[in-house]
Structure 1
């Protein structure tokens, strides 16, 4: 990890401010990952442990105070990194798997297959994403597995559109036509001829899609249909502590800032990657 960060800094000296900002984003993401992985060791208290009275102020014992049930806010913020980022990452990977496979299939086969898949995707995309997600979660429940599957299915339509558009340009290349003339099947063409030439676009899209999914899950939790209590997550923490703003307490802004900082950091790296 240290070697990768030094590589980012080395590139920043030769290419200016864009890669320096990417190095900052990379550092922030590394910190988030460490906090998420080692949350039980870093957090001073348990995720759901009641350690004090309601809404205690900031102190040495409770650096960010306590919540409405007397749980340590700092500990829940740390455990929230594991829950929020982990679920968002899982949904991103599932969405990318579905969207990439269907997008490659539509671009490679074309014809009826392309029209049918594109029609279904257009129907799903015609419905506002947040409203559709709220409807499906209300119907199928708000368990973690339901949340991952529903968000992944909805976001896979966006991945499909990007992969299909990029893959269709690659599918008409000479080397793809040469592979077809050799008698290679569609699976070979998709996996070995088209997919390797989409890596840059797919990696950039994955970073952006993670941001969208991360913000969507946080928004759903804020509305009460995302990650359910007593599990900690940043979206519901903003909602739970929002009343403190009226008393001049900035505690609700801290989980909101962690959400914003992660989104900005990922975008900095994606921007550097596209320029590089």
Structure 2
């Protein structure tokens, strides 16, 4: 019964948050975007509100956190009570502080990794589709060979070889995910390069990069933007999984994946503290997917 009440309260809170965000966005947005926010479903409004909260927390972590990120403030595994509102971890650091700084580290690194993967994968995929011939086949077969290796195993192998610094982590995961982005960008671009307006642009003498920038990329943006949101979720979860396994963001830097591992002992005593960073990961993943679904629906041109 208690679980049911908690679920009902959570759903009611999510709907209320979505409604408040949609109403505020509708009134504050420029006139040309008013209809977009007015017709936004509550699920998408809730997702955007959650993403906005995470961004604010990440940007203002030093102001919002009650203690320093690496400061040992008390004994190990202290219960939830003032001044440690969510207790302390296995080293006596404040859990609330670690959660807040984890938003900056985990989400920030995931966003940088996804952006790098998209820049590399999109450019190579569209370039291969425009060139065609042996260049397209050679690059595509190389990408196929990389994709044949399971992503987590490939990442573990590369991180074991090159180390686990933040720079290496970003480059390794971006390289693995760029292969997925490449396949999507190439597939979308292949459907565009056969259009009449592309042929007309070629007859006008436009160069390859101008053709990509002015003709192909604008027409491929809708699926690529949607894939960016989904790929961010996969990267976010991959970084958390690697941190949980001890090969992601290194201590004492706060990270949600490693926080679950470090405090997993508490679960055997019925303490839900290790589930808080896991819940933060799940909440952001759901929120991003809500927004991506809405964007895909808008891009499809379908009506409610």
| TM-score after normalising by structure 2 | 0.87
Specify the alignment match of 2:151 in structure 1.
129
Separation in structure 2 between the aligned mates of residue 216 and residue 3 of structure 1, nearest angstrom: 35
Specify the alignment match of 2:61 in structure 1.
39
1:24 aligns with 2:46: yes
1:5 aligns with 2:19: no
Separation in structure 1 between the aligned mates of residue 75 and residue 155 of structure 2, nearest angstrom: 36
Deviations 1:99-156 (A, max 9, x none): 0110011110000111011011000000000000000001000000000000001000
Specify the alignment match of 1:247 in structure 2.
269
Residue 5 of structure 1: CA displacement?
3.0
Separation in structure 2 between the aligned mates of residue 11 and residue 240 of structure 1, nearest angstrom: 43
Residue 78 of structure 1: CA displacement?
0.3
Q: 1:143-182 alignment to 2 at 5 Å?
A: 143-182=165-204
1:60 aligns with 2:71: no
The alignment partner of 2:136 has SS state of helix
Q: Which runs of 5+ in 1 are unaligned?
A: none
Q: Which runs of 5+ in 2 are unaligned?
A: 1-20, 299-304
CA contact (8 A) 1:40 1:46 kept: yes
Q: Residue 26 and residue 9 in structure 1: after superposition, are their counterparts in 2 closer, same or farther (change >3 A)?
A: farther
The alignment partner of 1:70 has SS state of coil
CA contact (8 A) 2:22 2:37 kept: no
Deviations 1:25-79 (A, max 9, x none): 0000000000000000000001000000111111011111001111000000000
Q: Across the two proteins, how many residue pairs are aligned to each other?
A: 273
Q: Residue 146 and residue 178 in structure 1: after superposition, are their counterparts in 2 closer, same or farther (change >3 A)?
A: same
Specify the alignment match of 2:209 in structure 1.
187
Q: Provide the alpha-carbon RMSD of the alignment.
A: 1.7
Of residues 99, 121, 135, the one that matches 1:77 is 99
| TM-score after normalising by structure 1 | 0.95
The alignment partner of 1:40 has SS state of helix
Q: Residue 4 and residue 167 in structure 1: after superposition, are their counterparts in 2 closer, same or farther (change >3 A)?
A: farther
Q: Residue 12 and residue 185 in structure 1: after superposition, are their counterparts in 2 closer, same or farther (change >3 A)?
A: closer
